[in-house]
Amino acid sequence: MKTKTMKLKNLFIGTMIASSFASFAQDDKDKECLRMRFLAQEEMKLKNYAGATAYYLKGETICGNYDKTKYDNMTKIITNTIATETDKDRKMAYMDTLTQVYGRMEKLNFLDQATYLTWAKYMYQLGKPDRLKIDGIYQKHLETGGTFNDEQLSLYFNNLVVQFNEAKDAGAKQGFKKRIISDYFTLSKMIEANSLSVKSQEALTASFNNIVRSCDDILPDLSGFMANLPQDKEMKKKTVMNFMNLLKEKGCTGSKEYEMLVDTIIKIDNSVDAVLAKAQLLRAKKRFDEAIGSYNQAKGMATDPAQKEEIEFYILEIQYHEKNAYQTAYKTAMGISGANRAKALMIAANCVAKLANGCGSSTFERKCNYLYAAELAQRAGDGGAAARFRANGPTESEIFDNNNPSSVSLSCWGVSVSPK
């Protein structure tokens, strides 16, 4: 009985001693934890960010995981360390440290969206960045309605392009290419809507054009893209229109793929845009009369005056450039106003000049057509063209020989000009 009592007593004493040591150990740990944070703050007062970073990192190990506030403070200090570090290798090492800290914060659910973007920025600059992780951060930001600044937009798109270039699997490569095409339009609109830098658009377009250079770079993949259109009507329409704009930009409007896009957009929504697309296709296929008919149909459907004026100019271009119908083109040009007024007047001037030799009962009258062409060019704001047309007009001696008329009637155009 005595032996049993002694054993229990010894066990109790041992437990008490162990607990005492544990208490002392915990006290020492807490003191050391506080000391690390104190030393970090002292280094911060001296703006020795590298020293403060070292103490914060030691403190994290001693204290265990920090709470969100302490982690936020530490990441700010490491960011300052990176900004002030001049040695390239040390700067890279601090960036690596920062990205690892963000990784530990993510596991504790301490990251907000802005911090995720900062994490992606520093991750991108590492020697071997986790491109899929970076891409996931940016994609989530976009999917939740977020926008980018100039730097973020550049990093996101460049990271996407690198993934496309490095992809070995054909399916993955096609997936990245589809996103590059789709995101190009999305990011271009973001640049415009948020008044981002012109250089951002230039860089975006340059990167895009390095991948999608010609029809051969897009047409083989188009059927695959079209097989996975969004189900939402407006999103589907937007996607198809983006592809159509891309094919127009790359000079692919004569392709069967472009015709497929036109048929698709008409099925989705027989709107002004759809009819315009049909007109553009007919023009590309050199079916000019049908194209003009579709443009006139679109003009009748349009409600925006500026759009009507743009459509009229498309018709004028066909009449003048493709059909060489100068008399008709002149009439159309003279009826155009708005933003295209000056260009239309210049076309009208050229029409008059091209038909000058067939308009008038005498050489003198025919030469007077050039005076009218000069007048139209002057109204268009092209003084150089006006001077060239005027040089083809009647000479002073020809004006004298024709009794110095104060005006000459030009029956082809229903106007009179002064030869003086």
Q: Where are the chain's structural domains?
A: 355-420
Determine the pLDDT at residue 29. 74
- Mean pLDDT to the nearest integer, 256-277: 86
**Cβ-contact 230, 239 below 8 angstroms:** yes
Q: What percent of the chain has pLDDT over 90?
A: 63
Length reported for the chain = 420
How confident is the model over 47-92, as pLDDT tens digits?
Answer: 888 888 998 899 888 887 789 999 999 999 999 999 999 999 999 9
pLDDT at 10 over 80: no
Instruction: For the chain, state the CA radius of gyration.
Output: 37
**Cβ-contact 346, 382 below 8 angstroms:** yes
- 101, two tokens: 């800290």
As a whole number of angstroms, the distance between CA 86 and CA 108 comes to 32
How confident is the model over 356-411, as pLDDT tens digits?
Answer: 999 999 999 999 999 999 999 999 999 999 999 999 999 999 999 999 999 999 99
Give 134-146 as a DSSP string: HHHHHHHHHHTT-
Residue 73 has phi, psi (to 5 degrees) of -65, -45
Give 150-205 as a DSSP string: HHHHHHHHHHHHHHHHH--SHHHHHHHHHHHHHHHHHHHHHHHHTT--HHHHHHHH
Determine the pLDDT at residue 254. 82
pLDDT at 418 over 60: yes
Residue 239: which pLDDT band, with cuts at 50, 70 and 90?
confident
Residue 403 burial by Cβ neighbours in a 10 Å radius (0-12, 13-18, 19+): exposed
Closest CA to 104 of 39, 50, 60: 60
Residue 226: which pLDDT band, with cuts at 50, 70 and 90?
confident
What is each CA distance from 375 to 243, 330, 417, in whole angstroms? 43, 14, 9
As a whole number of angstroms, the distance between CA 242 and CA 235 comes to 10
Residue 128: which pLDDT band, with cuts at 50, 70 and 90?
very high
pLDDT at 30 over 80: no
- pTM for the model stands at 0.59
81-90, long-range: CB < 8 A, 24+ apart: 81/49, 81/50, 81/52, 81/53, 82/122, 84/49, 85/50
Stronger pLDDT, 163 or 28, i.e. the higher one: 163
Residue 25: which pLDDT band, with cuts at 50, 70 and 90?
low
Residue 225: which pLDDT band, with cuts at 50, 70 and 90?
confident
As a whole number of angstroms, the distance between CA 217 and CA 194 comes to 30
- 63, two tokens: 């204290």
